[in-house]
Amino acid sequence: MRIYTILIMIGWVLAPFIQLAGQKTVDEWSVIADEVKRSSVFDRAFTGFALFNPENGQTLVNVNADKLFTPASNVKIYTLYACLRELGDSLPSGFWSEDEHQIRFTPTGDPTFLHPYFQAWQPVFHDFIHAGNKAIVIDDRFKGMPPLGPGWCWDDTDFEYSAERTFFPIFGNVKRVFALSPDSLCIQPAYWSNKLFKDQWLVLDPRQPWMHDANNTLTYGGNTVFKNDYQEWLAVRGVDQHLGSLLFDTLHRNVIIGARANLIGPTLPQRLRYACPLDTVLRRMMQESDNFLAEQLLYCASGSHADYAYLNQDSIIRWLLNNVLTDLPQRPRWVDGSGLSRYNLTSPNNTVRVLYRLWNEVQRDRLLSLFPAGGQSGTMADWYRSRDGKPYVYAKTGTLGGVHCLSGYVRTKSGKWLIFSFMHNNYTGGSRPFRAEIQRILEMIYNEKYLIGR
């Protein structure tokens, strides 16, 4: 009886300390949550944050993480998942067949054909060049894609980040404008030179010394002095209408473009032709946040999933949400591949879940090589730099007017990996203060000041 009484008394004495020890584990992560909630920077926006431990599937911090946000280019994480799931090691560029008289090619939306950043991988172009006297026939069965996505901003349509979506992209569906001399411009591809004009009497803002109309006519003012390294990339409008002329200008031979029913000659057996290594294209899409690549790649993924019966972004998005991403905590609205649309809505919890799937389904080094690395590459080259020179953040940025997001993977000093998603909407001014505040909080996590069980 006396021993029992002594044990009870010891329990009374130790109870507060046991409770405090148990509370410390919770409070360690609540400090991170409080840093997010009490931030004077984040207070200027509607902010959501999720922090997740992939080792045990535990959500460590949840601040509005179940709310829906405009994700901007964080949508590319979803597109990345679709591409890695549906496409192989190399990007399918189209179906190819030939006999002694002709070559037939059915494009599948591959964005790399004559793309300025993928000149090393042009098998289709070389096939065309070495076709001899054979007729070149382009099957346009997939023609008719909506050139611009739903909810895209109309006043962005001049610029390369809003390039059109097409069944057979060429030169990235853009044109390069650059300084030939201090008072004159040149343009590539050369096909567009007949739409380049200098107006000696036109006075324009030196920050934008040109006007670009819906007919792709580019006029620049005579008052502007161009630097030697001046260049601009402009989106081409109505690419499908110019496809034959652009191919003729490049190949120096006529190309027949027509619907499947109108193709000349008997049906030939077709084989799928491949172009660039998939990871090479995905890496640029993620690290440089290339909207054009994201849009076209999602079309390629849709075609691959449907055995190329059609190319349709809506169908692959719907299929993934209804059959694969059924574990997303909130039903998102996902409408394009790039995140240009403000119709997109998703939550930090959803984005963490997709990142968790990638973490489990893709080899680790390969996965991290696709994301921008803090302090080293892409859109994060100037941010999230560690003092030891080794990146501790691999993540995708997402920015529109009044929107800044960052989602990805963070490594702690001890080598522990966590998954996170920051989403900020509805603020005015630039994104720089938000980047700096996100960096401060991620550094706290990296330095393990508040890790569970430390």
> Sign of the C-alpha dihedral, residues 315, 318, 321, 324?
negative
66-99 pLDDT per residue, tens:
999 999 999 999 999 999 999 999 999 999 988 8
pLDDT at 316: 97
Distance CA 344, CA 216 (A): 29
pLDDT band at 27 (very low <50, low <70, confident <90, very high): low
pLDDT at 203: 83
pLDDT of 411 above 80 = yes
Helices 432-446, 2-37: inter-axial angle, 10-degree rounding: 150
Mean pLDDT of 411-439: 96
pLDDT at 17: 41
Mean pLDDT of 108-135: 91
pLDDT at 452: 47
pLDDT of 454 above 80 = no
Backbone φ, ψ for residue 85 (5° rounding): -80, -40
Per-residue three-class SS string for 218-260: EEEECCCCCCCCCEEEEECCCHHHHHHHHHHHHHCCCEEEECH
- The structure's pTM equals 0.90
pLDDT at 267: 61
Both structure tokens of 103? 């070559």
pLDDT at 23: 40
Mean pLDDT of the chain: 89
pLDDT of 128 above 70 = yes
DSSP bridge partners of 104 = 97, 137
Are the CB atoms for 264 and 102 separated by under 8 Å? Answer: yes
* Alpha helix positions (H), 67-130: 75-86, 123-129
Domains of the chain: 28-84+284-446 (3.40.710.10), 85-283 (no CATH)
| Residue 150 CB coordination number (10 Å) | 14
The most confident of the ranges 47-56, 196-205, 440-449 is: 47-56
pLDDT at 143: 87
Both structure tokens of 296? 């076209």
pLDDT band at 2 (very low <50, low <70, confident <90, very high): low
292-333 pLDDT per residue, tens:
999 999 999 999 999 888 899 999 999 999 999 999 999 999
Distance CA 399, CA 372 (A): 15
pLDDT band at 451 (very low <50, low <70, confident <90, very high): low
Of residues 270, 229, 303, 285, the one with CA closest to residue 78: 285
